[in-house]
């Protein structure tokens, strides 16, 4: 009989509690650093966040509990697609002629096509609970906006999305997807906010960035009493909600009788990779699996973890957020408009940044053509056309599998396949026709952007 290649969990195995890695990190000697108030430089107090987020999410943001219950209403929606499947990529293994065994956890089965609904549904639920009318947000590739639009429609909330202009123009169908769920979508920078207007005055042709779109969405929430803000990545509560990915994957790897040697994922703000990796990372930090490796991948055009500085910086361009301790390319940095729109973020999750800084996680950056070469190889082997963001993880995993072949050693590789690329055909067309520019990161831009970092000492 052929070996099994798919490891499904029954629907009653959806995790009923999210796992918070922060207390585990603290116990392991990697305590989180607090976000700071930009004016006082003192740790942020919950009241500063109250105009933007419901109390339940603020409490999750600062929680020191390892386990937090998933509300029944959220579980009811998760049941539409969770548990997501874990596959063994035997056809890819054969194509690479590698002794490595490659597994991937596939989040592209969600209705919006990525991992993003795992937190969108939770955030919409908590906002509805406190009577909010509308949620504003940013979106890069459109995956997050699509997910929040869907979640808002489930909980009968209005949704306003600032979509990075480069993606708005590259991906009209993502806009239509959001509009189908009743969301209003604006190409950012817009002239409807002060943050957008000031960018357009200085750069009338701006293609936008996640940092700018975040500023616009926050400004609306801060100035409109019944609009709250929702963020698709980076913050602790978002990574917390995404832990369902890794909790399921751990159980599925056990069913497969395997323990990963290396867990690979792509990092924009860190939510899909944190979601997959942290339940495994807890084992490394507790000394149960001390040799398990973790590889975070990112675009060479926006190499936050590999070329950024670990520093306190704003999460957005207009300096509206608290100062976050993270790897950053500077809040003014506008990455080149590469096709992996969801990875065009100047910063990263503070907890994930700390794990890289403390040596528990490795990071690597790849160029667009390296990434799409891997994406096409994967599609031809496994039949799934990955999102350009997810294809970074595939590139990393393929490199690991090739290294295993060259060393003549078995290796178990687990990939986070965060989404499908069905709305990214333009990117594939550009790659297949040799039109994908090899955009490199310009150190001069980095110098200029880092020069604008606030001068806050970091331990």
Ligand X SMILES: Cc1ncc(COP(=O)(O)O)c(C=O)c1O
Give the residues lining the site for ligand X (CB under 6 A).
114, 140-141, 143-144, 233, 266-273, 342-343, 387, 389-390, 418-419
Q: How far is the CB of 175 from ligand X (least distance, A)?
A: 15
Q: How far is the CB of 348 from ligand X (least distance, A)?
A: 8
- Label residue 72 exposed, middle or buried (CB < 10 Å: 0-12, 13-18, 19+): exposed
Q: How far is the CB of 212 from ligand X (least distance, A)?
A: 15
Tell me which residue has its CB nearest to ligand X. Answer: 342
Choose between 128 and 339: whose C-beta lies nearer to ligand X: 339
CA angle 166, 143, 139 (to 5 degrees): 50
- Label residue 259 exposed, middle or buried (CB < 10 Å: 0-12, 13-18, 19+): middle
Q: 65 phi and psi, to 5 degrees?
A: -85, 140
Count of other CB atoms within 10 angstroms of residue 56: 18
Choose between 145 and 404: whose C-beta lies nearer to ligand X: 145
Choose between 265 and 330: whose C-beta lies nearer to ligand X: 265
Q: How far is the CB of 243 from ligand X (least distance, A)?
A: 13
Q: How far is the CB of 141 from ligand X (least distance, A)?
A: 4
Q: How far is the CB of 51 from ligand X (least distance, A)?
A: 23
Q: How far is the CB of 402 from ligand X (least distance, A)?
A: 23
Q: 399 phi and psi, to 5 degrees?
A: -60, -40
For residue 362, the surrounding DSSP H or E stretch is: strand 362-366
Closest among 277, 326, 266 to 299, alpha carbons compared: 266
Q: Is the peptide bond before 83 cis (omega within 30 degrees of 0)?
A: yes
Choose between 256 and 300: whose C-beta lies nearer to ligand X: 300
Choose between 256 and 338: whose C-beta lies nearer to ligand X: 338
Choose between 78 and 411: whose C-beta lies nearer to ligand X: 78
Kindly provide the residue ranges of all beta strands, DSSP E only, lying in 114-257, ordered along the sequence. 134-139, 158-164, 184-188, 227-229
Rounded CA gap, 105 and 93, in Å?
16
Instruction: Copy the structure tokens of residue 309.
Output: 């500085």
Instruction: Copy the structure tokens of residue 203.
Output: 């750069």
Choose between 299 and 411: whose C-beta lies nearer to ligand X: 299
Distance separating the N- and C-terminal Cα atoms of the chain: 57
Choose between 35 and 342: whose C-beta lies nearer to ligand X: 342
Rounded CA gap, 131 and 148, in Å?
17
Q: How far is the CB of 238 from ligand X (least distance, A)?
A: 7
Q: Are 292 and 355 in contact (CB under 8 A)?
A: no
């Amino acid at each position: 009989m052929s070996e099994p290649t798919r490891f499904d969990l029954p629907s009653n195995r959806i995790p009923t509690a999210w796992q918070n890695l922060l207390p585990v990190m603290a116990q392991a000697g990697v305590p989180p650093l607090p976000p700071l108030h930009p004016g006082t430089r003192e740790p942020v107090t919950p009241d500063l966040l109250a105009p933007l987020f419901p109390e339940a999410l603020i409490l999750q943001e600062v929680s020191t509990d390892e386990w937090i219950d998933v509300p029944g209403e959220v579980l009811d929606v998760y049941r539409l697609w969770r548990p997501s499947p874990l596959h063994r990529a035997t056809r890819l293994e054969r194509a690479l002629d590698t002794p490595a065994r490659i597994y991937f956890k596939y989040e592209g089965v969600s209705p919006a096509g990525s991992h993003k609904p795992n937190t969108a549904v939770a955030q919409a639920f908590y906002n509805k609970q406190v009577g909010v009318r509308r949620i504003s947000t940013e979106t890069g590739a459109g995956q997050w906006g699509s997910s929040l639009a869907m979640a808002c429609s489930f909980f009968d909330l209005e949704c306003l999305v600032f979509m990075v202009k480069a993606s708005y123009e590259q991906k009209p169908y993502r806009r239509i997807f959001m509009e189908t769920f009743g969301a209003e979508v604006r190409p950012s920078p817009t002239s409807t906010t002060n943050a957008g207007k000031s960018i357009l005055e200085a750069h009338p042709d701006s293609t936008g960035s996640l940092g700018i779109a975040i500023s616009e969405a926050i400004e609306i929430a801060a100035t409109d009493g019944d609009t709250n803000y929702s963020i698709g990545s980076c913050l602790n509560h978002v990574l917390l909600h995404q832990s369902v990915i890794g909790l399921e994957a751990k159980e599925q790897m056990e069913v497969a009788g395997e323990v990963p040697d290396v867990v690979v994922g792509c990092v924009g703000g860190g939510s899909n990779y944190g979601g997959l990796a942290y339940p495994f990372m807890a084992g490394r930090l507790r000394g149960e699996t001390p040799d398990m490796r973790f590889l975070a991948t990112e675009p060479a055009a926006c190499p936050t973890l590999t070329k950024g500085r670990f520093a306190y910086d704003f999460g957005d361009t207009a300096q509206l957020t608290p100062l976050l301790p993270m790897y950053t390319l500077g809040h003014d940095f506008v990455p080149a408009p590469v096709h992996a729109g969801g990875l065009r973020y100047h910063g990263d999750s503070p907890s994930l940044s700390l794990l890289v800084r403390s040596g528990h996680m490795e990071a690597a950056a790849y160029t667009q053509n390296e990434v799409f070469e891997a994406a096409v190889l994967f599609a031809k082997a496994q039949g799934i056309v990955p999102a350009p963001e997810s294809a970074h993880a595939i590139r990393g995993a393929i490199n690991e599998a090739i290294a295993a072949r060259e060393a003549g050693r078995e290796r178990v590789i687990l990939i986070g396949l965060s989404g499908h690329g069905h709305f990214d055909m333009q990117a594939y067309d550009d790659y297949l026709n040799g039109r994908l520019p090899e955009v490199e990161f310009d150190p001069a831009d980095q110098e200029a952007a880092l020069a604008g970092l606030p001068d806050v000492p970091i331990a």
